[in-house]
Every structure is written in structure tokens, then in C-alpha cells.
Amino acid sequence: MTDIFSEFKARGLVAVSTDEAALQHALDKDSLTYYVGFDPTAPSLHMGNLVQLITARRLQLAGHNPLALVGGATGLIGDPRMSGERTLNPREVVEEWVAKIRAQVERFLDFSGTNAAQVVNNYDWTSQFSAIDFLRDIGKHFPVNRMLAKESVSARLKSESGISFTEFSYQVLQGNDYLELYRRYGCTLQTGGSDQWGNLTSGVDLIRRVEQTSVHALATPLLTKADGTKFGKTESGTVWLDPSLTSPYAFSQFWLNADDRDVMKFLKVFSFRPVEELDAIEAEFTAAPHSRLAQKVLAEDVTTLVHGREQYEQVIAAASALFGGGQLEDLDPAILGAATAELPRGDVDAAQLSAGLPVADAFVTAGIVKSKGEARRAIKDGGAYVNNVKVTGEDQTLTSAEVLDTATGGVILLRRGKKTLGAVDVVS
């Protein structure tokens, strides 16, 4: 056991909680059972969910017993959003997403030992209720005036679209989840994001009313970025934990591109390095921010945690190889494809390669230079490269021998000087 609550505070992981002194005493006194829930509203968890997965992992490492709830029932309903009513997904889609999210959750927790994790699905008990029983046994304990005061509900009531009874009832379903887990497993702590505080406290209130006992809730802050953009979003969209939706390379790049103003905050939340070690990294980074030390540590720790050490090492190898620090041919095709995905590029026909495509033409097609003349000058000056091999003649051509496999097609990497990269995709 460790003083996990104090560590949470040191890492900036406490936004709000029920009775803080009582919660800290409960965490220090003995091993308690806690839960965190994930609704299958998409085929993968995303960066925001990662905060909760890491919080659950920290609590388990401190000796507590985790329950990871996958919302097979609540996923059919949808938590009210500020922006408006959700579109209900078909049951078979939700069931498929439940399985995918369950598999993701299982990678972050330990399912062996004295405090082994368990994954539970709220469909198992919610589906057993009749409408009458649910209204009598659970709904009776929810004062409507307090339900209306919940932030998401209040905001929706003021909008033109309002809120459906379906989404209005979400907090009742989540409150009942906590009650069921309390009865079945002795669960006395629920964690979640601060935007879920109203739903978290609905379960605390329900247990107090029905069981005449006190339980706990802990909410972590919603992460924000200094530039005002939403955390976990990039120009290409949401950063997912599923490597088929966000490649390990793109995932690592997200962390490497962290703003200097954000990076230490992110390190304290997502890295498992001791706070004292992070303080030393911060001091070194502050003295030499150009080194990007904090971003490199952050990318290494989080990419390794989510995708594994081997994938992280392949990402590093790809980043190095793009600029001549390794053999492009040795890279995993999927990693190479992801590493070149955001480069300036153009298409060349496979038939053009068969006939021999002038390198100067390829440089223009990729957008690295504006004209063939400029490309020839780069070649003459010794600053043109194809797949990291220096181009030695102004009339040199590309053939199919230069095509690299990216798992989704063929590509040829072009470079001008040390830093200007581009690519051509080979199409039939």
C-alpha cells in the first residue's frame, strides 16, 4: 500500500471528490474495491479514456481491487452530451464494440494476484429489470429536481432540441451500476472524469438512500491544451488507442508534438516514473527546452504503455530512417506507411516507372521543389536523395526497384537536403 491519494494530488489527478479526508483514510487503511466505466460508443477507446485507464492502473499498483465496467447497457443509451442527442447505435454494433473495448481495457490491468482485476458488463444486470421493477426499486430514489440540476441535463433543457427521456435516464442507469457493484463486490469507490461528476454522485446518493452507507467518488480533471485546442485531437481527428485507427507512429508523434507549456502536465498524468524523477526531467528540460527531452520521455513512456516496447522501437527506427539514420527497407511496412502518411506527396503511374521516371519529375510531383530546374540544381549540389540514397546524376531515373512496401501500397521517399521530405505513391 502507498499513499496513493497524495500521489494523485502531486500529479494533478484530483479535480473533485466526495469527503476527501474519508476517501484518503479509506485508501490508506486497507485494500478497497473500485470501478471505472467505459461506454462502447465507438469501436475504440481514445486519449481521454486513457486518463481513466491509467488512474485504474495506479490504484491497482497501490494494492486496490479494480473492476473495469464495459457498458453494454449504457452504451445502448448514451450519456447526454452538451451538443445534442446521440444517434442510437444498433445492438449488434454495440455488442461488437463491447468486445473490442473489453480487450483494450484488459491490456492495462493485472488479472492475477491477490488484487486481480475483473471486467464486468452492466448489461448482465440491467437486462434483468422489468420497466416496472426498475421504476419502483431504483427510480423511486432519484429526486427529479436533483436530476434536472445535473450540468449536462440543465444545458440540454435550455437548448432548442431539449433532451429525450432516454438520455435523461442515463444517470439512473449509472447510479444503479454503482449499487450493483457495491452489492456484488463490495465496491466503495468510483472514478471518472470531472465531466462525469453528476453521474458519479448519482450512484453515491443511491447507495446512501438504499443501503444507508457512505461510498466514495473521485473525478480527475479534464485535460486541456495551452493552445486552446481539444486534448486528444489532431488535424486528422481523434487519437485512438486502437493501432488500426491511429498508428503507433502517429500516436507517438502526438506526444512528441506536445506544447512546451503542456508537456510536464502530461508527463505527470501519463508517465509512471516517480514524481521526483519527473521533477529532475523538468529541471533539465527547462534549462534546455530545445532538446525536447520532456516530449521524448513522454512519447516513449506512453507509446510503450499503449502499444508495447517493440512497436515503440520500430517507431523510433522509422523516424530515424526517414532522415537517413537507418535502412528504410528494414522497416515494418505498416510503420513505414504511417511514418510517410503526412508527407507532401503526389502520385506516379507504375507504367511511368517501367519506362524510367526522371528524378527531377518525381521531385516536382511530390511538391519538394517548384520546377524541374530547381530539382536539377538540388541534384547538382548533392542535396537530392531517393530512399536516403544520394542522387548522383541530373538525368537519373526512378524504376520499380525503388518502390517500398507500405502495406497499403508502394511509395518512394524523396528528400532535399537534411530536412525537406516528400513522397510519391505508385498507382496502377
Residues at the annotated binding site for L-tyrosine? Answer: 35, 170, 174
DSSP reduced 3-state for 72 = coil
CB 191 within 8 A of CB 51: no
Give Cα separations from 312 to 47, 144, 194, 238, 307 (angstroms).
17, 50, 31, 20, 7
Residue 332 bridge partners (DSSP): none
Query: Nearest to residue 80, comparing CAs of 184, 161, 201, 134?
Result: 161
What does 117-140 look like in DSSP terms, one character per residue? -EEEETHHHHTT--HHHHHHHTGG
The percent of the chain in helix, strand and coil, each rounded to the nearest 5, is 50, 15, 35
b/e map of 240-252 (b: 16 or more CB within 10 Å)?
A: bbbbebbbbbbbb
CA distance 191 to 36: 5
**Cβ–Cβ contacts within 10 Å for residue 63, how many?**
15
CB 426 within 8 A of CB 403: yes
CA distance 66 to 106: 11
Angle formed at CA 259 by CA 342 and CA 423, multiple of 5 degrees: 15
Strand segments, DSSP code E, in 194-337 are 216-220, 233-234, 237-238
Binding residues for ATP: 233
Give Cα separations from 191 to 51, 124, 180, 395, 405 (angstroms).
11, 21, 16, 64, 44
CB 284 within 8 A of CB 296: no
User: Side-chain half-sphere of 259: how many Cα atoms within 13 Å?
Assistant: 13
CA distance 146 to 347: 59
Binding residues: 35, 170, 174, 233
Please report which helix (H) or strand (E) contains residue 321, including its range: helix 309-322
Give Cα separations from 105 to 98, 164, 199, 203, 220 (angstroms).
10, 30, 21, 22, 18
